[in-house]
Structure 1
């Protein structure tokens, strides 16, 4: 590895907590490289990842726009059948998440992720040609199977490039694509449905066909754009590659070939880590709230008295606010290292939003409540995703923890498909709103519990550091090491 100069810096983002370093180590800082390497990654890696997730979320949730545009009428579907179609997506989605994450490093992100993107684009386009409910179910199954590894895979992929202290801003940047997809999808659907009847296809069919073709194109192009790791990034020189790897090792994001090699024991440790399980509970409740709003916001807006076309447009502003809040919350969370506080704050926004929707019959107030609930849940998702990734090491344990989080999220998604569909009919969605309100309270409660647990663990680690040297500690402990400081 090239020698990298070390010195202190006044930029708190550049200074790693000294407790995470050995007594014989100083934080590695090169001001010139700091200004260059992260900017290069943000220009070359982050836009691809963001586009992947935008298309993933758009292709999974555009069925909500298609529903408003006439999907259920043309396929003669009942609300129960619509919920079943959504549920069918999540079963293979959940099954695929852990194997996909464990295979990502072995197969290589530059091959695995673009292949998944291209194939699910084909499936999305095929949804626009189905004539029967059974055909729709088949497409939703394969869509879930191919998309299952995307979000956990992208979080894991970013951890190959960015240290823990820089990760949430980047995860928020690509996850904000989900809120953009909510806004963008509404605008696109508003325009696309005007193609109703063209070439014998209904407006809702054109939504799937056009958005699927866009995904296929991006998938094919991305084969030539995605580097597997800093070592394979053509836009970095040797010194920049060495600096990034040094920062990742210093931060505990990577350990070394032996520690980062596959081990079933590390998979088991991921499942047995208390903080992973606590955050997993938050992931579940967050998944219920997130996907309830992702799938049903156009229907909720339509139930407030807007026409089907206007409902597509009126769903855009809350998602636009969600994008802004996600980025602001990410900056605060990275700047002050307060993942838990951000998740609690976001849960309070959700509580306020659902409380407003439940407590008022005024349609303007109910519509206004979406400007709290949607930004709250969309800003929380990157915070807990980063929190989970930050606090698991080495690689296989982190891959497992990330997969567990998204398995829980999408398990919540299954419940979401029924809450605002068959179980709680419009226009009031009373039962669903009460459940989402209670779950929002649980999100904040368990986030607070995790903060207290991690703070207690960090105190124990600090006491252990007083009695042993880094050389005396058993190797391969990962996040259980006395020198690994949990992110709060």
Structure 2
């Protein structure tokens, strides 16, 4: 490498270890690109320790929010004397505090520290989940669901923001896919775990569905307490890195975004800036459509298996496992290629076509055609669980600045959870086994998602062309005023299609 090339490869880096110790007047120093071997080793350690620890949080969150579907199939609705309206209302009321809590709790992430905030919330919602195993009427169930929603509200955007603090944009896709595979794994594991727990029917005078809540809530509360000791606050305090690995990862993160972002102060301007970004609204719309499909499958796939295949009890739980297992494998493969090509939109559109095929098969098949309806579940679930992680990382990829990005991510999940509210009303027992109304709505949601994702890709492509015409995407970083003040609006920030 020539001296001129070295100059072009250098970046301005503030020693974050010193800043982390309180030395805000740390002197800027110049470093070359990070050591490739040390960077690879540092990322590998994150993938082995940090990523599974964060993924487990989301796994338990989704498990505890959706296990009511397994409990319903095991007799919850009948034992509590709930009408279809009351059951759907209990699910809906989970999302109101969930949505209201998302923004304020996520903005507290940096103030309180993710290593404190997230474990605390886990312990709270674990205890609330356990309480659902003791309810005896509709009012008790509703109260538990409201508190569950409030405690879980910040978890998904907080986890996505947490991951983005440790990984570069180009590394985030497959890691986020691994993280989001927690949803499909939770769907699969929930069925297996529920099948095992249902064998406790009658123990201590409790029904099997009650034990589902008690045991799964206990697991969450215990892991929440363990998390206080295993989650790092930020990349500067990771204990299992060597100094070479720490320096390499921090330098790589500085290359990916302005180092000043790490110490960015909160401003309403950054939040409002995210809300004014066209790409935020386009991707948020697709997340709404995705949320309808994702949560409909989470809450009702056991019911669909039961009504369509005619199974009851443990068999319902077991037959709901394979579609989720298949979706996990396909999701990881798609996200790996998405990272390799640095593209999200085409994979989102392609996966949503899978859902579209699944809904069409289910809608057009006869109630007696059990094989076709079971096959349709593989398409429905795979499409929904492939698109969700890619949409989330797409939102994160296309906003720069800590509070600008976190605001966009939170808004995306507000839309996704609003879709979750709609999903709770799609599959009432009275419409079994055909569920024509619910299936037709999901067909419309998938079609809308494809159309809006295509519009978003076109918009981002046009914006990149405009930036390139103004001299963007050069090897030299923009000025500090440009990269920090403008964020993703800078001509040096390239949108991810």
Superposition TM-score tier, normalisation by shorter sequence: over 0.9
**Counterpart among 457, 468, 484 of residue 463 in structure 2:** 457
Aligned position for 2:186: 181
Q: CA deviation at 1:233?
A: 0.9
1:6/1:127 Cα in 2 relative to 1: closer, same or farther (>3 Å)?
Answer: farther
1:312/1:253 Cα in 2 relative to 1: closer, same or farther (>3 Å)?
Answer: farther
- CA–CA separation in structure 1 for the residues paired with 2:449 and 2:194: 32
Matched residue SS, 2:311: coil
Aligned position for 1:396: 403
- CA–CA separation in structure 1 for the residues paired with 2:74 and 2:37: 53
Aligned position for 1:231: 236
Q: CA deviation at 1:257?
A: 4.8
Matched residue SS, 1:160: helix
Q: Is the 8 A contact 1:7 1:28 kept in 2?
A: no
Question: Stretches of 4+ moved more than 4 A in 1?
Answer: 5-9, 466-469
Matched residue SS, 2:491: coil
1:307/1:253 Cα in 2 relative to 1: closer, same or farther (>3 Å)?
Answer: farther
- CA–CA separation in structure 2 for the residues paired with 1:466 and 1:480: 11
Matched residue SS, 1:295: helix
1:110-121 equivalences in 2 (<5 Å): 110-121=115-126
Q: Is the 8 A contact 2:167 2:253 kept in 1?
A: yes
Q: Is the 8 A contact 1:159 1:253 kept in 2?
A: no
- CA–CA separation in structure 2 for the residues paired with 1:101 and 1:446: 27
Structural RMSD (CA): 2.1
Aligned position for 1:47: 52
Show CA shifts across 1:232-277 (max 9, x none). Answer: 211123332222222112112754455x221110000111110010
Calculate the TM-score normalised by the size of structure 1.
0.92
Matched residue SS, 1:185: helix
Show CA shifts across 1:94-129 (max 9, x none). Answer: 011111221111110000000011110000001001
Q: CA deviation at 1:457?
A: 0.5
Q: CA deviation at 1:393?
A: 1.0
Aligned position for 1:14: none
Calculate the TM-score normalised by the size of structure 2.
0.91
- CA–CA separation in structure 2 for the residues paired with 1:448 and 1:403: 22
Aligned position for 1:481: 490
Matched residue SS, 1:437: helix
Aligned position for 1:13: none
**Counterpart among 425, 429, 435 of residue 429 in structure 1:** 435
Aligned position for 2:445: 439
Aligned residues: 467
Residue ranges of structure 2 left out of the alignment (5+ in a row): 10-29
Show CA shifts across 1:198-224 (max 9, x none). Answer: 101111100000001111110011100
1:211 aligns with 2:240: no
**Counterpart among 23, 26, 42 of residue 37 in structure 1:** 42
Matched residue SS, 1:404: helix
Q: CA deviation at 1:8?
A: 12
